[in-house]
Amino acid sequence: MKAMLHACIISTGTELLLGSTIDSNCNFLSQKLCDLGVRVIARFTVGDNREQISNAFNNALKLADLVICSGGLGPTLDDLTKEIACEVAGCQMELVEEEVKHLQEYFARRKRKMPEANLKQALFPPEAIILKNSKGTAPGMYLKKDGKVLVLLPGPPREMQAIYLQEVEALLERDFCLDDKQSASCTIKVMGPGESQVDEMLMDIINEPRGCSLALLAQDGEVHIKLTAEGENAEHSKQILREISRRIENNMDRYVFGHDEESLSGVVAKLLVNTGKRLAVAESCSGGLLAQMITELPGSSRYFWGSVTSYSNDAKVKLLGVKEETLASYGAVSPETAEEMARGILRKSGCDFSLAITGIAGPDGGTKEKPVGLVYIALAAKEDCIVKEMHFAGAREGIRILSAKTALDMLRRQLQYGGI
């Protein structure tokens, strides 16, 4: 049986320690390495400090076969990562003329003079593979030394992800034969129940995983079930994964909306395109967030008519045709108003479906009868309108996100199963 490859991830940057920046790089790399069949055994976060960075590299290289670090490849004095990594690995750096030329061209295209400090970004050990950065000035580095692999990536997530996907993944597959990996993994994504509820629903499977490890990750109203199977060989691992996935999906049923890289908005988009249906949206407390989720995807004009953010009562009346007597009798946050918002935008757009959201996102505005977190979501079609009453907990932004995602999930269920 082939031994599983072990990896350590290092994140550098004082801003990460202060909590002013979320370390999304570490999560991205952990997920991608797991997908390759690499086990991440440690993650280090250190500030822009020479001793801390040196200790992190020394410890990581003792523990793992692969060390991947993000951050600290810029031109400033506190960008120390490459210099220290090379010291720890026992490598000398030299100025690479081709990289100097790339830097000069980068600044010339922007009609700016290149600062002398940027030349440090063109220093590399001769034995290293230079990883091209199409999104910025800091190239990455891939270094094989004494049976270990050391990978340095820039800190900005957009740059880091591009270099990893375009260059690093293929190098790792080549050098560690990961295209013939022993393990198999997948992620099952559900919407509706919370993490503890999912845990309870899957208790039998969690207690008897049958060669498969499960991890639950709560993420903005979704729960991601991460499965990793380690069998006797690749085919055995896939067989274990298929069996456990089937059991989980049978248990979770309609709560399952997607797998792996799929997003809720992406799944809804595919269903709308495949059925030839179009959608319009009316929003109040979510303030346009639902429309933003839909239009983040390229090509959304094929199935999305548009949105009206009717925050005030006046806007609801004038733009959506909500009756003044409805607002006077039931209030803006009511199932009656949600239904009239949905029917109004459906009538105005001529679409097949409409979604409407009205509620109290807080932190103010709640009452005993209508507390913060009370949200009504309406899904209308030409023949019918369904209104769902939700009670969300948490801060304002969380309530808005949950409102928008719940609306999308209502439409997903309607398109996929013919009812919510």
Per-residue pLDDT for the chain (420 aa), expressed as one digit of tens each? 456 789 999 999 999 999 888 899 999 999 899 888 888 999 999 999 999 999 999 999 999 999 999 999 999 988 999 999 999 999 999 999 999 998 999 899 989 999 999 999 999 999 999 999 988 889 999 999 999 999 999 999 999 999 999 999 999 998 987 766 677 889 999 999 999 999 999 999 988 888 888 989 898 999 999 998 888 888 898 999 999 999 999 999 999 999 998 999 999 999 999 999 999 999 999 999 999 999 999 999 999 999 999 999 999 999 999 999 999 999 999 999 999 999 999 999 999 999 999 999 999 999 999 999 999 999 999 889 999 999 999 999 999 999 999 999 999 999 999 988
Q: What is the b/e burial string over 386-415, where b = at least 16 CB atoms within 10 angstroms of the residue's CB?
A: ebbebebeeebebbbbbbbbbbbbbbbbbb
* Closest CA relative to residue 251, chosen from 206, 310, 300, 221: 206
How far is the C-alpha of 387 from the C-alpha of 377, rounded, in Å? 6
Query: Could you say which of 3.90.1300.10, 3.40.50.1450, 3.90.180.10, 3.90.950.20 is the CATH number of the domain covering 264-417?
Result: 3.90.950.20
Classify residue 287 as left (phi > 0), alpha (psi -120 to 50) or beta.
left
pLDDT at 159: 95
- The full 3-state SS of the chain, as one line of letters, equals CCCCCEEEEEEECHHHHHCCCCCHHHHHHHHHHHHHCCEEEEEEEECCCHHHHHHHHHHHHHHCCEEEEECCCCCCCCCCHHHHHHHHHCCCCEECHHHHHHHHHHHHHCCCCCCHHHHHHHEECCCCEEECCCCCCCCEEEEEECCEEEEEECCCHHHHHHHHHHHHHHHHHHHHCHHHCCEEEEEEEEECCCHHHHHHHCHHHHHCCCCEEEEEEEECCEEEEEEEEECCCHHHHHHHHHHHHHHHHHHHHHHEEEECCCCHHHHHHHHHHHHCCCEEEEECCCCCHHHHHHHCCCCHHHCEEEEEECCCHHHHHHHHCCCHHHHHHHCCCCHHHHHHHHHHHHHHHCCCEEEEEEECCCCCCCCCCCCCCEEEEEEEECCCEEEEEEECCCCHHHHHHHHHHHHHHHHHHHHHHCCC
**Which one-letter amino acid corresponds to residue 71?**
G
Say which residue the tokens 């933003």 belong to: 292
Contact between 142 and 149 (Cβ < 8 Å):
yes
pLDDT at 180: 62
Q: What's the start-to-end Cα distance of the chain, in Å?
A: 47
Peptide linkage before 126 cis (omega within 30 of 0): no
- Fold identical between 6-180 and 183-259? no
Give the Å distances, CA to CA, from 49 to 46, 53, 370: 8, 6, 51
Domain boundaries, the chain: 6-180, 183-259, 264-417
pLDDT at 1: 47
How far is the C-alpha of 222 from the C-alpha of 257, rounded, in Å? 10
Structural tokens at position 20: 């002013």
At the second CATH level, the architecture of 183-259 is 2-Layer Sandwich (3.30)
Contact between 129 and 118 (Cβ < 8 Å):
no
Rg from Cα positions in the chain: 26
Residue partners of 276: CB distance under 8 A and separation at least 6: none
How far is the C-alpha of 68 from the C-alpha of 240, rounded, in Å? 29
How far is the C-alpha of 116 from the C-alpha of 41, rounded, in Å? 39
At the second CATH level, the architecture of 6-180 is 3-Layer(aba) Sandwich (3.40)
